[in-house]
Each structure stands twice: as structure tokens, then as C-alpha cells.
Amino acid sequence: MIAWSQPSYLADWRVASVGAVRVGYVAPPVKPGDPWQWCSWISQRGFPARGTAVGEDRARAAVTDAWQEFLAAAGLQVTERDDRPWLRFRLPMPPSIWDLYTGWGENRRLSKIYKKWRTDAGWFFKPPSVPVSRPFDIVIALERPHGLMDVDNRIKPVLDCLQHYKVIKNDNLCECATIRWQPGLGQECIAEIRECLEGVAA
């Protein structure tokens, strides 16, 4: 999506940008009745494309067309940036999923290790006023204390904790979970969740 700058004065260029990249401009005529000048700094020919057009709208359209032709020739496409906010929570290092419970069958219950961790985790964050009740994605980053720990079995404790403190309505709403060791994180664990654009969970 091309964004156009606002002119600072009457004869100022209107610069076209995509993200942080300037891709072209249109310039008003020097004399009344003359055509507008347009330039696309990026084109499929490898050098700027230039031309004239009757009126500002047509000049802008020419820059847009040149940009679209470049994308098509390069096999690229512009994607919309997703600016939806993430909910971020700092947590102590979650226990392994193997430490969540003790016992089997009717005697199965939460372990002391997990209950203590969950209690400690409650001091680290403030839940939202309303739990997330739509499908969501979660990203979990961990500061690895040593190389003997598995990363994959620490997702469930985090999701259960977020449900316990009513950050999320139910962990079955999770559509995608990403977890990784991240050196230099500065925290034992950071979890971020965000509602999906189009959820399909029941």
C-alpha cells in the first residue's frame, strides 16, 4: 500500500512511500496548464520510470502502476502489516509438563512444584479486565539456564496458568503456539498472546 506525503508548500513534491522505502513522487506543474511530472524510482527496467500526466490523480496512478508492474515482474507482493496489539506477560521459568501432576487415575492431582510456580506466577502480571474469549496465537520465549532442558514441554504449564488467572477463557482456543529459547532475553519467560484475525476453533 502506497502512502503519500502531504505537501509543505504549493509546489512541493508528493512523495510515495511503501513502509520506510520511498518509491517515487509526483510534482505539480511549474506553470498553470502544464502537466504534472511523475517518477517511480523503482521499476522493472532497473532505472527510474518518468512521465507526465494530466492532473495529480493521474500522476499518482502512474506511479502506482509502475510500482505494481515492478512487483509483478519481481514475483513479489505487498502484505499488510499487522498492528494488532499483543498482551505480554513476564513469568518465572515454567516447569516441565512432567512436573504438573502427581499420582495416576483417581489419585492424580496438581503437584506441589506446579502449584508453587503458578502461585509465584500470579505476582508477575495483571490479567485483562475481560479474558480473551476468541481464538488466539501465543509466542513464548525463554532464557535457557542450561542445555539439558527441553523447550517443547513448557507450553502447557503457561497456557494452564493463563487460563487459571483468567487471561484466556480456555486454552483450547489456542490456534498456534510458538516457543523458543532466546539468549539475552533478560527474563526467565515472556509470553505474548493475540487474538487471531479469523479464528476457527470451536
Contact present, 19 and 5 (Cβ < 8 Å): no
Q: Provide the pLDDT for residue 39.
A: 95
Is 190 in the same domain as 100? yes
Model confidence pLDDT, tens digit, residues 191-200 = 999 988 764 4
Match 509546489 to its residue by C-alpha cell: 11
Contact present, 141 and 126 (Cβ < 8 Å): no
The residue among 156, 157, 145 whose CA lies nearest residue 181 is 145
Residue 56, C-beta contacts closer than 8 angstroms, at least 6 positions apart: 14, 26, 28, 36
Model confidence pLDDT, tens digit, residues 14-51 = 999 988 889 999 999 988 889 999 999 988 888 899 99
Domain tally, the chain: 2
Among 52, 74, 96, residue at a domain's last position: 74
Cα 24 from chain centroid (whole Å): 27
Domain of residue 57, residue span: 3-74
Is 104 in the same domain as 163? yes
- Percent of the residues in the chain that have a pLDDT greater than 70, as a whole number: 95
The parts of the chain modelled with pLDDT lower than 50 are 199-202
CA 167 vs CA 87, 101, 154, 177: distances in Å: 9, 22, 18, 16
Is 29 in the same domain as 111? no
Q: Indicate the angle between helix axes 112-121 and 155-164, nearest 10 degrees.
A: 60
Asked, for residue 99, whether it belongs to a domain, the answer is: yes
Is 91 in the same domain as 65? no
Is 118 in the same domain as 47? no
Is 41 in the same domain as 114? no
Asked, for residue 190, whether it belongs to a domain, the answer is: yes
Among 74, 98, 121, residue at a domain's last position: 74
Is 124 in the same domain as 49? no
Q: Rg (Cα) of the chain, in Å, rounded? A: 27
Asked, for residue 82, whether it belongs to a domain, the answer is: no
Is 112 in the same domain as 181? yes
Q: Percentage helix, strand, coil, to 5, in the chain? A: 25, 30, 45
Asked, for residue 63, whether it belongs to a domain, the answer is: yes
Among 74, 99, 129, residue at a domain's last position: 74
Model confidence pLDDT, tens digit, residues 140-150 = 999 988 777 88
